[in-house]
C-alpha cells in the first residue's frame, strides 16, 4: 500500500503550540532583567483600555506595546535575548500534545508552516527549533540598527491569516491541507482547509466551530 501523500500543515503559535501569549512573555522577560523597566508597561494601559472598548485593533495594540517597551533596543540586544527566550519557552511553555502532533506530521513527510501573528523577533527562531519548513509571522520596523516598534507587515491575524494560507496553498497546489489554531478569529482560515482542528478554544469559539463543522480538541 502506498504511503499517504504529504500534506500542507499550518500551525498557529499562541494558545495552540504554546499555553499563553508569547509577546507579553517576551517583553516582560526582557524588561525584567532590569526590574524598574517594567514600569514601561504602564504606558500601555491606555491602549489596553482602547482595545477593550473596541477603539483600536490588535495590530495597533501590538504597535503601542512595542513602542512603549522595546523601542530603541538594538539588533544585537534583541537577538541575544531571543537566544535565551526561545529555549526557555519550548522547555516550559508549550503543549506536549502540540509537540507530538508536529512530530507526527514531520515523520509523515508533511510540509510544516508556522503561521502566526507573533512577531519576527522570535517566531522564526521558534519555527527553526521545532523544525518547521517555513514561518510566516508579523514583521517589525527597524530604524537602522534599533527597533522602531511599528509593524512592517500586516498583523497575521483574521483575514490576513486567511490570505497567507491561500497564498501558501497556491504554492503547494494539489496538496491536502490541515490547520491547527485556537481562536474564534482563526475560524475563517480553518474553514479553508481539508483537515481543520480548533485547539483549546473558548466556549464561544468551540460553539462557532461546531456550527461550521470544525472539530475541537483540548491539548495538554
- Beta pairing class for 140-143 and 146-151: antiparallel
Element (H, E) at 144: none
Give the per-residue pLDDT at 38: 87
pTM: 0.93
For residue 128, pLDDT over 60 is answered with yes
Percent of the chain whose pLDDT exceeds 70: 99
Residue 22: which H helix or E strand, with range? helix 22-31
Confidence of residue 25 (pLDDT cuts 50, 70, 90): very high
- Domain definitions of the chain by residue range: 8-217
Number of CB atoms found within 10 A of residue 43's CB: 13
Question: How far does CA 51 lie from the centroid of its chain?
Answer: 19
- 136 within 8 A of 157, measured Cβ to Cβ: no
Terminal C-alpha separation, the chain: 34
**Architecture in CATH of 8-217:** 3-Layer(aba) Sandwich (3.40)
- Reported as a single tens digit per residue, the pLDDT across 163-200 is 999 999 999 999 999 999 999 999 999 999 999 999 99
The tens digit of pLDDT for each residue in 148-162 reads 999 999 999 999 999
Average pLDDT, the chain: 95
Which pLDDT score is estimated for 1?
55
pLDDT score, position 4: 79
Query: For 24-31, what is the mean pLDDT?
Result: 96
Provide Rg for the chain, Cα atoms.
Answer: 18
Amino acid at each position: 500500500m502506498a504511503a499517504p501523500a504529504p500534506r500542507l500543515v499550518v500551525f498557529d503559535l499562541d494558545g495552540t503550540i504554546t499555553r499563553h501569549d508569547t509577546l507579553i512573555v517576551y517583553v516582560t522577560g526582557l524588561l525584567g532583567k532590569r526590574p524598574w523597566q517594567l514600569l514601561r508597561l504602564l504606558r500601555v494601559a491606555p491602549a489596553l483600555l482602547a482595545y477593550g472598548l473596541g477603539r483600536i485593533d490588535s495590530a495597533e495594540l501590538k504597535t503601542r506595546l512595542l513602542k512603549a517597551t522595546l523601542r530603541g533596543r538594538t539588533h544585537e540586544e534583541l537577538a541575544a535575548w531571543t537566544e535565551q527566550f526561545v529555549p526557555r519557552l519550548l522547555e516550559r511553555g508549550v503543549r506536549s500534545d502540540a509537540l507530538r502532533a508536529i512530530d507526527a506530521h514531520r515523520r509523515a513527510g508533511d510540509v510544516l508552516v508556522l503561521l502566526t501573528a507573533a512577531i519576527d523577533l522570535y517566531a522564526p527562531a521558534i519555527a527553526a527549533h521545532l523544525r518547521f519548513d517555513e514561518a510566516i509571522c508579523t514583521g517589525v520596523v527597524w530604524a537602522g540598527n534599533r527597533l522602531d516598534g511599528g509593524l512592517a507587515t500586516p498583523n497575521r491575524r483574521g483575514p490576513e491569516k486567511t490570505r497567507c494560507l491561500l497564498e501558501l496553498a497556491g504554492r503547494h497546489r494539489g496538496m491536502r491541507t490541515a490547520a491547527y489554531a485556537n481562536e474564534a478569529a482563526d475560524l475563517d482560515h480553518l474553514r479553508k482547509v481539508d483537515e481543520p482542528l480548533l485547539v483549546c478554544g473558548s466556549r464561544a469559539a468551540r460553539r462557532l466551530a461546531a456550527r461550521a463543522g470544525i472539530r475541537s480538541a483540548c491539548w495538554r
